[in-house]
């Protein structure tokens, strides 16, 4: 018989607060058109994107994370010292080690919280949320700060007609803590590594270091392949998340998909047969694709504008490079 004492975590976990930060510079499509042969109409029709935010030298991954985290902590009504773990999802922090989460944990004033980074691309927020839920319920942390943050402008090839207009910068954060009733549903997640070439970094850092290539690495993708995968396969995953939570589309108040492309979002809404009363996040129009930051940024905007309200039931789903995905149903803070 085991001598290990059982964990003393909370019965359930929920999102208690949300915060976001968008860089001050707003970049319209006209700026993108300076380096690619395209048009504003083509960009809007293909992606739904009109503007995006690009960070300046001061708006680092750490700085943006601190801004978003401060808002989330205040929204949750706790102090930084109560945070037991910090999870940061990013692909654009350019130091292999140490994890940027350790710097953030220190600068926001935690009491030596556990801190680590994850790399799960555009599904990173869902991965982090799932880990946070586990920590709260297991008892290793009472409150967990989950951050999705990207400076994708650093990884954008402005001469690549397929991707130059897609990416933006920003940070979104949530605080996950104890709850008396279920407020974060089971996560449906996975990966399809056989499709990893459809979204990838152009070359390894070592190629650039060794002078094999002159061009700094960037993110590239096979647009049509990604579109088909997202539209047909991710709608199935979203439905599985609804089923796992024991609800139907009629029970939803809000749908917050990864903000990759307006056409993908609209297609998923149609495939899922979401009722007209469901509010759909379409933050991509003015924020672009911010990868791991897109879901918490969209969540914060919906709550701030009153399009969604505290206590609403929301389906969230992220999907991207890997190819990886994660979907769950949550109660909004």
Out of 29, 53, 258, 261, pick the active-site residue: 258
**DSSP code for 195:** G
Out of 29, 53, 122, 261, pick the active-site residue: 122
Q: Is 277 a catalytic residue?
A: no
Q: Is 261 a catalytic residue?
A: no
* Preceding amide of 98 cis, omega within 30: yes
143: left (phi over 0), alpha (psi -120 to 50) or beta: beta
Closest C-alpha among 245, 294, 311 to residue 147: 294
Residue 317 has a CB neighbour count (10 Å cut-off) of: 26
Closest C-alpha among 279, 278, 296 to residue 287: 296
Residue 125 CA to residue 129 CA, distance in Å, equals: 6
Closest C-alpha among 67, 56, 59 to residue 108: 67
Structure tokens at 215: 């061009």
Residue 224 has a CB neighbour count (10 Å cut-off) of: 10
Tell me the three state secondary structure of residue 305: helix
Residue 98 CA to residue 203 CA, distance in Å, equals: 23
Residue 287 CA to residue 267 CA, distance in Å, equals: 20
Phi–psi pair at 169, nearest 5 degrees: -115, 155
Strand (E) positions, the chain?
Answer: 12-21, 25-28, 51-54, 83-89, 114-118, 143-151, 169-179, 188-191, 199-201, 219-221, 254-257, 279-280, 313-320, 324-331
Residue 174 CA to residue 191 CA, distance in Å, equals: 24
Residue 176 CA to residue 252 CA, distance in Å, equals: 21
Active-site positions read 122, 258, 289
């Amino acid at each position: 018989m085991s001598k290990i004492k059982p964990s003393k975590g909370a019965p359930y976990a929920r999102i208690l607060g949300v915060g976001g930060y968008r860089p001050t510079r707003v970049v319209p499509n006209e700026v993108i058109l300076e380096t690619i042969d395209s048009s504003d109409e083509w960009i809007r029709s293909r992606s739904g994107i009109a503007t995006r935010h690009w960070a300046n030298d001061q708006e680092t991954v750490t700085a943006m994370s601190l801004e978003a985290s401060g808002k989330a902590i205040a929204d949750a009504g706790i102090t930084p010292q109560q945070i037991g773990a910090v999870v940061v999802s990013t692909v654009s922090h350019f130091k292999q080690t140490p994890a940027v989460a350790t710097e953030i944990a220190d600068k926001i004033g935690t009491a030596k919280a556990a801190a680590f980074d994850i790399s799960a691309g555009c599904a990173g927020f869902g991965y982090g949320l799932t880990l946070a839920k586990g920590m709260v319920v297991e008892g290793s942390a009472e409150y967990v700060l989950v951050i999705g943050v990207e400076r994708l402008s650093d990884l954008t090839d402005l001469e690549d007609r397929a991707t130059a207009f897609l990416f933006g910068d920003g940070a979104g954060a949530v605080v996950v803590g104890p709850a008396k009733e279920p407020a974060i549903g089971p996560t449906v997640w996975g990966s399809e590594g056989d499709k990893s070439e459809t979204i990838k970094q152009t070359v390894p850092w070592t190629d650039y270091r060794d002078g094999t290539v002159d061009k700094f690495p960037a993110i590239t993708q096979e647009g049509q392949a990604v579109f088909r995968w997202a539209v047909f396969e991710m709608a199935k995953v979203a439905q599985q998340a609804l089923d796992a939570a024991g609800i139907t589309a009629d029970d939803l108040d809000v749908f917050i998909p990864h903000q990759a492309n307006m056409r993908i979002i609209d297609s998923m809404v149609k495939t899922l047969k979401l009722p007209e009363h469901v509010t759909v996040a379409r933050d991509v129009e003015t924020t672009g694709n911010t990868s791991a930051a897109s879901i918490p940024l969209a969540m914060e905007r919906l709550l701030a504008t009153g399009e969604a309200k505290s206590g609403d039931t929301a389906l969230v789903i992220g999907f991207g490079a890997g190819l990886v995905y994660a979907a769950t149903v949550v109660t909004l803070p």
